[in-house]
Amino acid sequence: MAKRVYQVWKGNNRFIFGGRLIFGPDAKSLFITISLIVVPVVIFCVFVARNLLHKFPEYDAGYAVLIVAIAFTIHVLLLLFLTSSRDPGIVPRASHPPEEEFSYNTSAPSEIGGRRTPGLQFPRIKEVMVNGMPVKVKYCDTCMVYRPPRCSHCSICNNCVERFDHHCPWVGQCIGQRNYRFFFLFVSSSALLCIYVFAMSALYIKILMDEDYPTVWKAMKESPASVVLMIYCFISLWFVGGLTGFHLYLIASNQTTYENFRYRTDNRHNVYSRGCLKNFLEVFCSKIEPSRNKFRSYVQEEVARPSPFIQNREMVAEDEPPRGPRAKVEDDLEIGGDLLKISRRHHFEDVDEELNSRDRMVNLVSDSDLSVMDTQGPVNKREERRSGSWNILPEVLSASSSLSEAGVVSRKEELNQP
């Protein structure tokens, strides 16, 4: 049965509803985030907003306090859902390295298996032009692609994400090109919700002081829920409010959290900034591109192809004809057979040479030598051959001496001539 892309996805993401929604590996933290939003709002609606329903008789303004709190909470939860359940801008993986980037260095070939093969070169960094300026992009060994500019590999999700900002554990998802807008709106809306709940709780304390509880302590004792909500919203506002201000600065300067923390000490020029107004328009008014991954499509079986590194081992010189895998096996068998024949031939030649040397030795020894050797007793021929000592006949010595005397006389005659 054919499988879909999300079923064989190599990242650490989690999919639900048949691959329609994609979450990060820490999606369980969403329940904590939702509880931190919903529980305070429920307490506010039950113990504060309900008591304010009849405190503003004109135009039934008390009901507006409750309706705004509920609507604002739904708005924040919807932004949280859009941030955590969509593709943040994952770059599709490749099944093999980009072969068009491989180059073969024929100037310094290497010897592999007795054959000359060119050396393989693979660039790890490339340069691309962004706004008329060169920007270096790196090769990702996990995804086997060159990362686009402002792209980084998330070690938690195990994906390359375009315009990677950071991985947020509170939303259980990477923040990238396709969900950064919703993430900022979620954080800023959460800050506004904290301000609203804090203000309405303080207003309720003020109303209690105006009615039957003249002091602050008596009013706070009458509505402890308001006090708890004010403390909770004050602490939360430091977090979400500070985060909102920080991302306003990043948007104005067209930076990401990753770039700000990594390159803040480099004093490098920001090639992506186009001015404060255009930077805001780019984040909030630009069209969100569709996902580059079709998680619900069926997996297309790809024909297995060898790696370029393996192909490099099988390359031959340019003047040799191309050979297939079967021819390679036959060549290996022929080489093995030739090696066996050569070893046997060397063995036979050694044996023949030893026999011929023995025959020559026997022929050099005369019958008189054999008689002398017999009178002296048996002699081991192998030891005698190793020592190199031989008995020279008297006839040989006399002949050599006569030849040497004749040579000396002829040399003297030549010197005496005028």
Active site residues: 168
Residue located via tokens 């019958």: 367
Q: At a CB cut-off of 8 Å and minimum separation 6, what does 23 contact?
A: 13, 14, 15, 16, 30, 84, 85, 172, 173
Please give the order of strands across the beta sheet that includes 125-130: 125-130, 133-140, 145-146
Q: At a CB cut-off of 8 Å and minimum separation 6, what does 108 contact?
A: 119
Q: At a CB cut-off of 8 Å and minimum separation 6, what does 183 contact?
A: 83, 165, 168, 171, 175
Q: Note whether 187 and 175 are within 8 A (CB).
A: no
Q: At a CB cut-off of 8 Å and minimum separation 6, what does 117 contact?
A: 109, 110, 111, 312, 313, 315, 316
Alpha helix stretches (DSSP H) within 168-211: 180-211
Q: What are phi and psi of 92, to 5 degrees?
A: -60, 140
Is the four-CA dihedral 48, 50, 54, 59 of positive or negative sign?
positive
- Tokens representing 187? 């954080």
Q: Note whether 71 and 222 are within 8 A (CB).
A: no
Query: What is the amino acid identity at position 251?
Result: I
Residue located via tokens 């990753």: 258
- CA–CA separation, 15 vs 20, rounded Å? 7
126: left (phi over 0), alpha (psi -120 to 50) or beta: beta
- CA–CA separation, 307 vs 98, rounded Å? 10
